[in-house]
């Protein structure tokens, strides 16, 4: 906390220096950093002040001030609850945790079953985001051949969206009686969730035009008045890495290209971090358990019993309906705490 306070003082001094506003890009970065630091420090300072006032008031209370004592007790309980919320936010201290998130859901093997499962997960994350007052924007969507969604990519805009949703990266498994099976048999479906931060600032990546193949095509959708009738959808292939990104839901080809480039930048940065992590794991082999992309992180069982279980933390609940309506904060919190304790 002291380090952050000193940094706030340093940035405030920089803002008061002559010529600060002449560097538009530099001043914007400093203002954003200062805002983030204040958002982190000020809530703790306010709680500390409230606690100090309660302690000072307690010191002058008399035995007959029963109503005031009850009021102070209530205030202290509220302070404790606020502190717990702030302590949880301290888990979100990664470089890009405060950023918006780009979330992709892809159907696994299983055809229509898996596509329907992607649709269910899509609704779950949309509900979760709405409860957080985040803005959800569909970037790309490929419907299933018969039902559901084959893959979908969202931009979820809001502070700490990536910090929360990084806990959801991995394979999600569904067990249920299939509504598509006339014999009412139990089916298992899989879908993979990928989450990367939206990166707008310079992260030292040099993306050269010669390394890109840019294709334009007509947007695919369910039809109707909103269907795009021009070749405005954009697919960008980064040739050296083989990473492919696309966007089709913006109004113009230019806007789709800008969004796709932002996603490409984020994916390249994520790949760079992954390679660095692999190099460290080779150096310190056996010291840290690696979580592979294909590993199953959570099961959602709807038959023969109701249960959602996270296999990383062993946290579970029998209220499947609540989870599918976006109530996943407990799973996210348990994972983030576990990740910090075990440094995973």
* CATH number, residue 185: 3.30.70.1660
Instruction: Give CA–CA dist 98/33, Å, rounded.
Output: 11
Rounded Cα–Cα distance for residues 118 and 126 (Å): 12
Which pLDDT score, from 0 to 100, does residue 155 have? Answer: 95
Lowest mean pLDDT, pick from 39-48, 215-224, 315-324: 215-224
In a domain, 291, yes or no: no
Whether 290 is covered by a domain: the verdict is no
Query: Is residue 241 a part of any domain in this protein?
Result: yes
* 192 shares its domain with 221: no
Check whether residue 135 and residue 184 sit in a common domain. Answer: yes
Tokens representing 279?
């190099």
Q: pTM above the 0.75 mark?
A: no
Regarding whether 218 and 192 lie in a shared domain, the answer is: no
pLDDT digits (tens, 9 = 90+) for 193-237: 999 999 876 666 788 999 999 999 887 654 444 445 567 899 999
pLDDT tier, 29 (very low <50, low <70, confident <90, very high otherwise)? confident
Q: What is the pLDDT of residue 226?
A: 44
Q: Which of 67, 89, 111 is the last residue before a domain boundary?
A: 89
Based on the fold, state whether residues 171 and 246 are members of the same structural domain.
Answer: no
Least confident of 89-98, 258-267, 320-329: 89-98
Q: Identify the band that residue 286 occupies on the pLDDT scale cut at 50, 70 and 90.
A: very low
Average pLDDT score over residue span 62-75: 74
Which range, 8-17, 90-99, 326-335, is most confident? 326-335
Last residue of a domain, one of 60, 89, 118: 89
With respect to residue 96, please indicate whether it lies within any of the assigned structural domains. Answer: no
Alpha-carbon dihedral angle through residues 339, 1, 157, 330, given to the nearest 10 degrees:
40
> Regarding predicted confidence, which is higher, 332 or 49?
332
What is the span of the domain harbouring residue 226? 209-283
Q: Please count the structural domains in the chain.
A: 3
Decide which of 58 and 117 is more confident: 117
Residues 105 and 194 in one domain: yes
Domain boundary among 34, 69, 89: 89
Q: CA neighbours within 13 Å on the CB side: how many for 302?
A: 19
Domain harbouring 279, CATH code: 3.30.160.20
Whether residue 157 lies inside any domain: the answer is yes
- Residue 67 forms part of a structural domain: yes
Residue 311 lies in a domain: yes
Between residues 36 and 324, the one the model is more confident about: 324
Residue 95, domain member (yes or no): no
Judged against a pLDDT cut of 50, whether residue 290 lies above it is answered with no
- Note the pLDDT tens digit of each residue in 259-277: 999 999 899 988 888 887 6
Question: Can you give the pLDDT at residue 225?
Answer: 42
- Kindly state whether residues 76 and 108 are assigned to the same domain: no
Sign of the alpha-carbon dihedral angle for 78, 79, 82, 83: negative
Q: Is the pLDDT reported for residue 292 higher than 70?
A: no
């Amino acid at each position: 906390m002291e380090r952050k306070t000193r940094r706030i003082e340093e940035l405030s001094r920089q803002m008061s220096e002559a010529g600060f506003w002449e560097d538009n890009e530099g001043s914007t970065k400093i203002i954003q950093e200062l805002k983030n630091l204040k958002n982190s420090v000020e809530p703790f300072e306010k709680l500390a002040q409230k606690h100090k006032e309660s302690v000072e008031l307690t010191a002058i209370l008399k035995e007959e001030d029963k109503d005031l004592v009850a009021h102070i007790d209530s205030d202290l309980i509220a302070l404790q609850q606020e502190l717990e919320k702030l302590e949880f936010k301290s888990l979100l201290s990664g470089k890009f945790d405060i950023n918006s998130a780009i979330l992709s859901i892809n159907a696994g093997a299983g055809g229509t079953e898996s596509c329907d499962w992607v649709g269910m997960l899509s609704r779950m994350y949309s509900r979760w985001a709405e409860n957080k007052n985040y803005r959800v924007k569909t970037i790309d969507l490929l419907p299933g051949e018969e039902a559901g969604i084959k893959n979908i990519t969202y931009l979820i805009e809001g502070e700490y969206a990536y910090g929360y949703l990084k806990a959801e990266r991995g394979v999600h498994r569904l067990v249920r009686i299939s509504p598509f099976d006339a014999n009412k048999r139990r089916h298992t479906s899989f879908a993979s969730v990928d989450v990367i931060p939206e990166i707008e600032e310079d992260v030292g990546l040099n993306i050269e035009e010669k390394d890109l193949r840019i294709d334009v095509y007509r947007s695919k959708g369910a039809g109707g008045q909103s269907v795009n009738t021009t070749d405005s959808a954009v697919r960008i292939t980064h040739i050296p890495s083989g990473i492919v990104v696309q966007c089709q839901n913006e109004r113009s080809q230019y806007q789709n290209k800008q969004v796709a480039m932002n996603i490409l930048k984020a994916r390249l940065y994520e790949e760079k971090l992954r390679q660095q992590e692999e190099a460290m794991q080779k150096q310190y082999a056996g010291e840290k358990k690696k979580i592979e992309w294909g590993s199953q992180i959570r099961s959602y069982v709807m038959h023969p019993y109701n249960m959602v279980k996270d296999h990383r933390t062993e946290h579970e609940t029998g209220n499947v309906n609540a989870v599918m309506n976006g109530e996943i904060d407990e799973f996210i919190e348990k994972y983030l705490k576990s990740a910090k304790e075990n440094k995973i």
